[in-house]
Structures are given as C-alpha cells and as structure tokens.
Amino acid sequence: MTLASYLRDRLPSACVRAASLALVALALAAYGVEVGVVTLVTVVLAAGEAVALLVDFWRRCGFYQRLDRTADGLAEHGVAYLASELTREPATLEEAAFLDALRRASKSMADQVAIMRAEQRDYRDYVETWVHEVKTPIAAGRLVAANNPGPVADAMDAELGRIEGYVEQALYYARSTTLDRDFQVREIVLADVVRAALRRNARTLIDAHVTPELGELGLTVSADPKWVEFMLGQLMGNAAKYRREDAEAGRLRVWASRRQTGMDAWETLLFVEDDGVGIPPEDLGRVFDRGFTGSNGRRYARSTGMGLYLVRELAGKMGLAVGIASEQGRWTRVTLAFPASARRTPIGR
C-alpha cells in the first residue's frame, strides 16, 4: 500500500471533511469573526486532519507490510495460507476484523490441504502396494516362459518385460511426489549403478540389437542408487526404442567425467549417448514435459511420454541437473550432473 493509493481510497471522506471545514469557516465569517482568526482555525483544523491521515496511513501500512513480508516468506515454501498465524496482533478494530476473516479462510485452506495430503498419501500407498503385488504374477509369467523355451514363450517374455517397465514407471511416478519413502542419498560408484541398469535392461537392448560401450565410470557420487538405476533404465529403453531402422545394430555409450565449477568445487557428469534417430529440433525443448511424445513417439514406438519426465523429476529431487542434446538422424546425449563436495579430490590430483 502506497501513500497515493491510500489517499485515493480516502478521497471521498477527505472531500466531506474539506466541505465541512469550508462551512465552518463561512459560519465563523458570517458571525463577524476576524479573518485572521478564521484563517488560523481553518489551518489548525486542516493540519490536524492531515496529521490524522498520515498517522492512520502509517499504522495501516505497517500492518499490511508485515503481512506481505510474512506471506512472501511462506510462499517460498508453498504455505502462504499460514501467513495470518504468524502476523502480529492488530492495532485497530478494522485490522482485527480483517485478520479474523483471514484466519478463518486460512484454517479452511489448511483443513483442505490436510485432506488432500491424506488422500495423496493413501493413493501413493495403494499404488506402491499394487506395484509390489503385480510384480509377483509378472515374475511367475517370466519363469514360465523361461521354462518353456520357444518363439511364443520368447514373445510372451518380451511383453512381460514391457509390462514390468510400465509398472516401474508407475511406482517411481508415485514416489516422485514425496521424499519420505525409499529415498536414501549415499556415496555410490557410477560403474556399479550403470552395470546394474544394464543387467536389468539387457533383454531390451539385446532384442533391439543395441550394444553398450562403457567408458570411464570409476567415479564416486552422492545419489540414491535405485533412483539412478531407474533413470538409466529409462534412457537405455529409449536407446532401444528409437534405434535407427537403417542400421544393423545400435550403439549405447555411457561414460563419466569430472569438471571444475569453482575455485575448489567440482561436479561429476554422467553421459548416456545413443546413435539412434535423434530428436527433431522443434521437440528438443519439450522432451522433459509430462506426457509429451513428439514426432518420434508417434512414428517409431508407442510412447507414454513419461520416461524423460521421470528422469528430470527424480533428478530434481536428488539435486541433480539434467541436460539433453541431439542431432536428428544421428545421435542423442543425456547428461546427468552430480554436484560434488569441495573437499572431494578430482581425477588427476
């Protein structure tokens, strides 16, 4: 609230006061009061009105500024509706009425937020329970296929693998909305996580004739190993899904390096690159959007548009940065940046 806006708001009442003051001055003059006395009375009354306006503005402005600062601070944490609970007690009846109404609205909002959080938690629990339950028949089906080798069994095993992949997506999508479960950041060696992801997606890569090539991966980073393994699995699945049709075999390169970001600060970069169909320039800026499939998703494979979205979401939860570069028809490279402690010694030192 500015002084100009406050005066505009008080303009009607100020006009009434000014008219009243003018009538008083005229009445005094009509009764024969000297002009000097009339002028003095008029100036004193006008000055009193001006001071009263300034004092009222100062009191109101202080209250609303404190409320704005509190709301802005809470808005950074997504709980601006709690501002009324942290605001000092009002000094005027009007402020008290306003704050009371705001507190009732805030309580209603807090109750609704609590209900929504409980529903979200119940839904997430249901999804996680369903995922764990459905994994049992999937594993049984794959065991049956393994014990009955043949073209039909192989085809069934491949479809069960796809189902398992979609189930994993559902699980990690549910987990990406919270950090209170199954999220443990610890020191991991990239080589271990990459090899685990390759073993998990070996069938997909073999069926697509994609050969992995591993470079330097002996670096240690801080992350959740299961989440990183899932993220790599999504990237490996994309490499298999979007392999060029004119090539007899595809290639998937995975390597890591470390670069300096400050005087004594370093970060580790993990690169996952394939030589597939690439991404059209017009789609490159939207591939991390939820549900976005792009022209490749419609042309080459049935895509959910959730893989890269989950990669970005899970990376953000762990404090990692994700980047992507591509040349249509030639290659696509996804980069995961792991922030490193300033105390960690880089390669070559």
Q: Long-range CB contacts (< 8 A, 24+ apart) of 107-115? A: 109/81, 110/81, 110/82, 113/81
Nearest 5 degrees, angle CA 244-CA 245-CA 247? 70
Going by pLDDT thresholds of 50, 70 and 90, the confidence category of residue 22 is confident
State the pLDDT at residue 25.
Answer: 81
Contact 322, 334 (CB under 8 A): yes
In the predicted model, what is the mean pLDDT of residues 338-342?
Answer: 69
State the pLDDT at residue 219.
Answer: 93
Contact 6, 61 (CB under 8 A): yes
Reported in sequence order, the residue ranges of the chain that DSSP labels E, i.e. its strands, are 186-189, 210-214, 220-223, 250-260, 266-274, 321-327, 331-339
Q: Where are the domains of the chain?
A: 3-88, 183-349
- CATH number of the domain at 183-349, out of 3.30.56.10, 3.30.200.20, 3.30.565.10, 3.40.50.720? 3.30.565.10
Q: What is the pTM of this model?
A: 0.64
Going by pLDDT thresholds of 50, 70 and 90, the confidence category of residue 343 is very low
What is the percent of the chain where pLDDT is above 90? 23
CA 309 to chain centre: 11
State the pLDDT at residue 92.
Answer: 67
For residue 75, pLDDT beyond 80: no
Q: Give the model confidence (pLDDT) of 114-149 as tens digits.
A: 888 888 888 878 887 888 888 888 889 888 888 888
User: Which among 11-15, 37-41, 119-123, 316-320 has the top mean pLDDT?
Assistant: 316-320
State the pLDDT at residue 348.
Answer: 39
User: Which among 103-112, 199-208, 300-309 has the top mean pLDDT?
Assistant: 199-208
Distance from C-alpha of 346 to C-alpha of 348, rounded to nearest angstrom: 6
For residue 342, pLDDT beyond 70: no
Distance from C-alpha of 56 to C-alpha of 95, rounded to nearest angstrom: 12
State the pLDDT at residue 346.
Answer: 40
What amino acid occupies position 187? E
State the pLDDT at residue 275.
Answer: 92
Angle between helices 190-200 and 225-241 (to 10 degrees): 50
Going by pLDDT thresholds of 50, 70 and 90, the confidence category of residue 77 is low
CA 91 to chain centre: 39
Pull the structure tokens for residue 201. Answer: 């997606």
In the predicted model, what is the mean pLDDT of residues 293-307?
Answer: 74
What is the percent of the chain where pLDDT is above 70? 83
Q: Long-range CB contacts (< 8 A, 24+ apart) of 318-326? A: 318/185, 318/223, 318/224, 318/227, 318/228, 320/223, 322/288, 324/279, 324/284, 324/287, 324/288, 326/278, 326/279, 326/284
For residue 225, pLDDT beyond 80: yes
In the predicted model, what is the mean pLDDT of residues 292-313?
Answer: 79
Q: Give the model confidence (pLDDT) of 203-215 as tens digits.
A: 889 988 999 999 9
